Amino acid sequence: MRDKNVQTFLACDAEYGAADVVLFGVPFDGTTSFRPGTRFGPSAIRGESFGIETYSPYCDRDLTDCRIFDGGDLELPFGNTQRVLELIRDSAADLLADGKRFVMLGGEHLITLGAVRAVAERFPDVHVIQFDAHTDLRKEYLGEPLSHSTVMRQVWNLLGDGRLHQFGIRSGERTEFEFAREHTCLHKFNLADFTETAAQLQGMPVYFSLDLDVLDSSAFCGTGTPEAGGVTFKELMEAVLRLHGLNIVGCDINELSPHYDHSGSSTAAACKITREILLQIAR
């Protein structure tokens, strides 16, 4: 009982200066339209991490061999989405300026926009990979252009055509799918084409956004907008292992809403995939 009671993700205890990867949480669910609660995601993932191993038999690497700093959660105002996005952008920009790569724990999916703003300023040729059940390509939702359901349209606004690679998509308006045919690289229903995309993006700066609702709702019901017909955890794991070798400059893991899954298995899945992503990004 002689250490400060500060909970970090398992083994992410490097000093900031020595770390090459920084983990931080964004407990924001201010635009969630259906079932709120993702603000509890980061703390749930951290708490769960003490129930898993630091070693991954999937990639034969160990978190204890990596230099990862857990910077805690951003302090965010309520009711001011613009300001939240600015705070995320500023935090991500500071990390990139210090030569760090980052893993951001959501929170709802809109948080991706703040991070991509910073990444696109520093790496104008960045490509974005999105795993998600939903297109998230609405121009506005209930009159609001900043929403979890518009986030990838906003990302497209920043990047332009052919730089947004969407996988696992199985829900959206007809107009969103029409938009995607013209402007994004959309792969419906599964992650099967990801190997090919990963090969094409070798050497380029890449931002990876994982909306955990890409998982089938039988494997992951602890989320705001569960969507049947998704990928298995095993398929997601296989795709995450293919991040190896990509130049991932930043990433996020979003949309865990832990309280909707009383069994805790959604949080356990989110936590395990967080470990694997950290191991793929840390060098």
Q: Could you give the strand order of the β-sheet that contains 247-254, starting from the edge strand earlier in sequence?
A: 68-73, 21-26, 101-106, 247-254, 205-211, 127-131, 164-169, 185-188
Span interacting with Mn ion, options 62-70, 80-88, 107-115, 274-282, rule CB under 5 A: 107-115
Among 48, 70, 108, 132, binds Mn ion (CB under 5 A): 132
- If we measure between CA atoms, which residue out of 128, 68, 126 comes closest to residue 282? 68
Q: What separation, in Å, do the N-terminal and C-terminal C-alpha atoms of the chain show?
A: 33
- Of the pair 106, 205, the CB lying nearest Mn ion is at 106
According to DSSP, residue 23 is labeled E
For position 211 contacting Mn ion by CB under 5 A, the verdict is yes
Q: Which CB, 29 or 70, lies closer to Mn ion? A: 29
Residue 37 — left, alpha, or beta (φ > 0 → left; ψ -120 to 50 → alpha)? Answer: left
Subset of 44-73 contacting Mn ion (CB under 5 A) = none
Instruction: Please name the residue that has the structure tokens 């083994």.
Output: 11
Of 6-14, 101-109, 168-176, 197-205, the segment contacting Mn ion by CB under 5 A is: 101-109
> In 3D, which of 116, 95, 109 has the Cα closest to residue 158?
116
CB of 83 vs Mn ion, minimal distance in Å: 21
Judged by CB under 5 A, which stretch of 118-126, 133-141, 160-168, 236-244 contacts Mn ion? 133-141
Closest contact distance (angstroms) between CB of 151 and Mn ion is 7
109 binds Mn ion (CB under 5 A): yes
Size of the site for Mn ion (CB under 5 A): 5
Helix or strand or coil: residue 85?
helix
Comparison of 213 and 261: residue with beta carbon closer to Mn ion: 213
Residues at the interface with Mn ion (CB under 5 A): 109, 132, 134, 136, 211
